[in-house]
Amino acid sequence: MKFSSLLQSLFCVLCPTLCHCDSLMAQQPASGPRPPALREPTLPQPSSSQPQSSPETNLLLGEPPVDQLPKPLAGRANAAMPSPATSVTLNLLKLMVAKGLLSADEAQALITQAEAEAELAKTQLLEDAELRQAAEDEVRVAYVPENVKQELREEIRNEVLDKAKAEQWLKVPEEESERYQVYGDVRMRARADLLAGQGNDNTGAFPNFNQINNGHPYDLRGLNYAPQQNVDQDRYRFQLRARVGIEAALSEGWFMGGGLATGDNSSPVTQNQTLGGAAGQGGNFSKFSIWLDRAYMRYEVGNALEDQFQLFAGRHANPFLSTEMMWDNDLGFDGLSLKGRRRVGDAVVFGSAGAFPIYNTDLNFGTNQPAKFESRDRYLLGAQLGMQLPIADKVSAKLSAAYHEFINMEGLLSSPMVPLSDQDIGDTDHTRPTFAQRGNTYRALRDIRPDPANGNGTTNQFQYFGLASAFRNLDLYGSLDVDLWEPYRLSFIANYVQNLAWDQDQINSTAINNRGPSPSDAVLGDYEGGNKAFMLRSEFGKPKFERRGDWQVFLDFRHVQSDAMPDAFTDSVFGGGTNFSGFSIGGAIGLSPHVKLGARWASISELSGPPLSQDLLLFDLTAKF
């Protein structure tokens, strides 16, 4: 046998966990001469100057073989019989010494190392056995290295965070890519506005004030009608809405976000894009405009499960608890807002406050005047306080009261003027609303005096129109959620809004619309508008769609008087402003966890002014992520 093979066999015996002797032996040639039988050589005895040898050394130097050694004494529980592997190892070392491959000192060193390792292994086994046999009330504290403690902390933390995210306790960014939340939706809508055959007044009683105020002033003594609302022809449209947004978690409670959306124009209350639209874009397969819909920074303290405080700056979502009767669901708020919530026993108290610029006077207003006119900026200041509390088992309520003050929303009468063309500017032209839907009461803004230059008031009566009422809104909200039929929920929602700044007599003296029939040709009818609005709504079904087959149905009724709130920011679909009463019914069903199909039918009638009624039918297919 070669020396290298012999050493390999030795290591297999000494380290059976790293190498298997059987496999090594199997690698030997099956044929060929077998080595002669080994016999024990007689070795010379060591001199007295050599170190005292252990029993194992004596065995190598000629003592009786291992199988002839005395057996261990009874009662030595910790002593062990030499294993076959040990006997083979000692005999192999004897042979290597006899062949001159190892010296006696080298063999002794190998044996000493093996004894030390065996003693260490035996000690560990004894400690494990003692731990297993310890009494139940005995506590043993083992030393845990600091690096092991840190690994345990990280494992526990990761397990808790994984569970929190899986069960949606709160939003937890765990990796760089998860610091960003991307969201979006696409909605395809088929819409029918049914106006024909309703008996509506189509004699010029419904001027489109929004179109007038965003163009040249209207000449009241002209030969043409002012732009008019459609009140007598059905319209069928397909509309697309697409939105996408992102929010990034920065550090130390700071976030930033932004979003884009489609839209026929920059309307604040809708992102609908009419397919094949005739007014500007979308026709003949032309591309759609994309608008900046959200851009904000947010600072947050706490979390949604406990007390929380949030600060928003920029263009962000509605910070107030409300219904779409007051604020359209697509509306974005520009400015600063604060939101907070605090748990008090079983109840949660919440509140919001904000300041939002609505209109800022053009730096160069009036454009063609050497001496500029005074600014009249418009703002919204709002505050809300509310409470969510349990009423009974699986029954909870939410109540809130909000106050919204619209600063400088009403129109003002100008200084006396004689406009000679539609390019002339009045010093209160900037008090007209630059966006409106329909329903509010309007007044004339320009104090045009008779003059020979305008035929003593028979020509060149170029006029703009502003809101006849100021607005300070009290907004009361209440809801009741009943979860007795989980996972289905029955909800009741009530909303009441009143304009505290409304002055009927003042409006009656200036209003040019929302009047009743004229008693005579020379006398205007009385102002019939009002300052109150309320909504009642009931919903039943899944509050949140999570899988295919989830469904929800709803029924609501609204009564919104003309000047209860600014018509610019209310629901753009149901009523499209103010001054109406009506109900709607509808529902939706989930086609997948992220796709739903909905339908809605509404019947609406004008409250004040000439008769106007409309039916509305919607079918929506919505996908979101």
The answer to whether residue 262 sits within a structural domain is yes
**Over the stretch 34-84, which tens digit does the pLDDT of each residue have?**
444 444 444 444 444 444 444 444 444 444 444 444 444 444 444 445 555
**Over the stretch 401-453, which tens digit does the pLDDT of each residue have?**
999 999 999 999 999 999 999 999 999 999 999 999 999 999 999 999 999 99
The answer to whether residue 144 sits within a structural domain is no
The answer to whether residue 150 sits within a structural domain is no
Q: Are residues 386 and 457 both part of a single domain?
A: yes
Q: Are residues 215 and 363 both part of a single domain?
A: yes
The answer to whether residue 525 sits within a structural domain is yes
Q: Are residues 122 and 191 both part of a single domain?
A: no
Work out the pLDDT band at 30, boundaries 50, 70, 90.
very low
**Over the stretch 338-352, which tens digit does the pLDDT of each residue have?**
999 999 999 999 999
DSSP 228: B
Q: Which residue has the higher pLDDT, 126 or 281?
A: 281
> What is the mean predicted confidence (pLDDT) over 559-563?
98
Q: Which of 114, 130, 146 is at the close of a domain? A: 130
Beta bridge partners of 354: 337, 382
Nearest-10 crossing angle of helices 104-132, 84-98: 170
DSSP 410: S
**Over the stretch 160-177, which tens digit does the pLDDT of each residue have?**
767 766 666 655 555 556
Work out the pLDDT band at 123, boundaries 50, 70, 90.
confident
> What is the mean predicted confidence (pLDDT) over 502-512?
96
Residue 140 has, within 13 A of its CA and on its CB side, a CA count of: 10
Distance (Å, rounded) from C-alpha 580 to C-alpha 275? 28
Q: Are residues 478 and 582 both part of a single domain?
A: yes
The answer to whether residue 253 sits within a structural domain is yes
Q: Are residues 220 and 116 both part of a single domain?
A: no
**Over the stretch 72-107, which tens digit does the pLDDT of each residue have?**
444 444 444 555 555 666 776 776 777 666 677 777
Query: How does DSSP assign 283-311, residue by residue?
Result: GGGPPPP-EEEEEEEEEEEE-TTS-EEEE
Parent domain of 360? 176-624
Q: Are residues 206 and 105 both part of a single domain?
A: no
Q: What local confidence, expressed as pLDDT, does residue 57 receive?
A: 42
Q: What local confidence, expressed as pLDDT, does residue 45 receive?
A: 47
Name the CA radius of gyration of the chain, rounded. 45
| Bridge pairing between strands 416-417 and 447-448 | parallel
Q: Are residues 461 and 530 both part of a single domain?
A: yes
The answer to whether residue 388 sits within a structural domain is yes
Q: Which of 115, 130, 145 is at the close of a domain? A: 130
> What is the mean predicted confidence (pLDDT) over 553-564?
98
Work out the pLDDT band at 202, boundaries 50, 70, 90.
very high
**Over the stretch 360-377, which tens digit does the pLDDT of each residue have?**
999 999 988 899 999 999
The answer to whether residue 156 sits within a structural domain is no
Q: What local confidence, expressed as pLDDT, does residue 89 receive?
A: 67
Distance (Å, rounded) from C-alpha 39 to C-alpha 56? 18
Q: What local confidence, expressed as pLDDT, does residue 128 receive?
A: 63
Q: In a 10 Å sphere around its CB, with 0-12 CB exposed, 13-18 middle and 19+ buried, how is residue 2 labelled?
A: exposed
Mean pLDDT for all residues in the chain = 84
Q: What local confidence, expressed as pLDDT, does residue 78 receive?
A: 45
> What is the mean predicted confidence (pLDDT) over 466-491?
97
Q: Are residues 361 and 506 both part of a single domain?
A: yes
Q: Count structural domains, the chain.
A: 2
> What is the mean predicted confidence (pLDDT) over 213-234?
93
Q: Are residues 327 and 404 both part of a single domain?
A: yes
Work out the pLDDT band at 178, boundaries 50, 70, 90.
confident
Query: How does DSSP assign 156-195, residue by residue?
Result: HHHHHHHHHHHTTSS----SGGGGEEEEEEEEEEEEEEE-
Q: Which range (80-89, 291-300, 321-330, 435-444) has the least confidence?
A: 80-89
Q: Are residues 195 and 52 both part of a single domain?
A: no
> What is the mean predicted confidence (pLDDT) over 545-558?
97
Work out the pLDDT band at 155, boundaries 50, 70, 90.
confident
Residue 414: which CATH number? 2.40.160.180
Q: What local confidence, expressed as pLDDT, does residue 76 receive?
A: 43
Cis ω for the linkage preceding 276 (within 30 of 0) = no
Q: What local confidence, expressed as pLDDT, does residue 146 receive?
A: 67
Query: Phi, psi at residue 220, to the nearest 5°?
Result: -60, -25
The answer to whether residue 85 sits within a structural domain is yes
Whole-Å CA distances, 112 to 58, 95, 474, 507, 575? 13, 18, 94, 111, 98
Buried b (16+ CB within 10 A) or exposed e, 207-228: bebbebbeeebbbeeeeeebee
Q: What local confidence, expressed as pLDDT, does residue 26 receive?
A: 42
What are the percentages of helix, strand and coil residues in the chain, rounded to 5?
A: 20, 35, 45
Q: Are residues 316 and 419 both part of a single domain?
A: yes
Distance (Å, rounded) from C-alpha 274 to C-alpha 283? 9
> What is the mean predicted confidence (pLDDT) over 446-468?
95
Q: Which range (68-77, 412-421, 543-552, 553-562) has the least confidence?
A: 68-77
Q: Are residues 184 and 87 both part of a single domain?
A: no
Work out the pLDDT band at 31, boundaries 50, 70, 90.
very low
Residue that the structure tokens 């001469």 belong to: 33
Buried b (16+ CB within 10 A) or exposed e, 71-106: eeeeeeeeeeeeeeebbbbbbbbbbbbbeeebebee
> What is the mean predicted confidence (pLDDT) over 180-193?
96
Residues of the chain above pLDDT 70, percent: 77
